[in-house]
Structure 1
Amino acid sequence: MPFVKRNAEGAIVAASHEAEGDCVEEVSEEELQASGFLDRLAGSRGGEAGQLASSDLELVRVIEDLVDLLVDKGIILFTELPASAQKKVLHRQQLRSRIGGSLDLLGDD
């Protein structure tokens, strides 16, 4: 699990694979991703690598919404997904509900 440093507002401003320096708070990788820190980092890289990383994060949300739609329409059963996929989807849903849906990766598209 990664370790992070937060600013006065509580936003993650640094991350490390190990507890070192100011990065002493351990968080899950999902929480780190949900915080938007990785988006900001990818955006600061620029170029095609940064664009690809950013689009990966956006595509994750699209896939989540697609799974929800297929389940809602009865096309697939949630329990038909592999156990590891179920666990990951449920964990991301819990994270998103805790942060109040403030991630708007899809915008108004």
Structure 2
Amino acid sequence: MLYALRNSEGRITGLSETYQDGAEKVDMSNPDVRDFLSVNDENFSPDAYLDQSDKAISRIIEDLIELLIDKNVIIFTDLPDGAQGKLLTRKLARGLIRGDVPEEAFDDISETSILSDEDELL
């Protein structure tokens, strides 16, 4: 179920999967929902929206996994080897972007480990 919050003019200002005071039940076919998600894109489709949001969701999942590891809810080495490798290389790449990790950290990792065909299998 999807819930919409509206402003005083009746325009949707937020969508949530959980009920909040003042929210109304809506579904993806509602024209107001489509307008809200499309951000003035006439070719909007829910599939396209999900494809575009995959990057953000993957980062959220990475952060969630890191939090669970930090709180000892899961153990990093219990993850499959492929998942461990992906998480480590992505963590290094994100650290480089933020400036937290020196570029030399990638010296021990081959380029193919970051963009290998095996990455597509997981």
TM-score of the superposed pair, with normalisation by structure 1: 0.47
TM-score of the superposed pair, with normalisation by structure 2: 0.43
The structure number with the bigger radius of gyration is 2
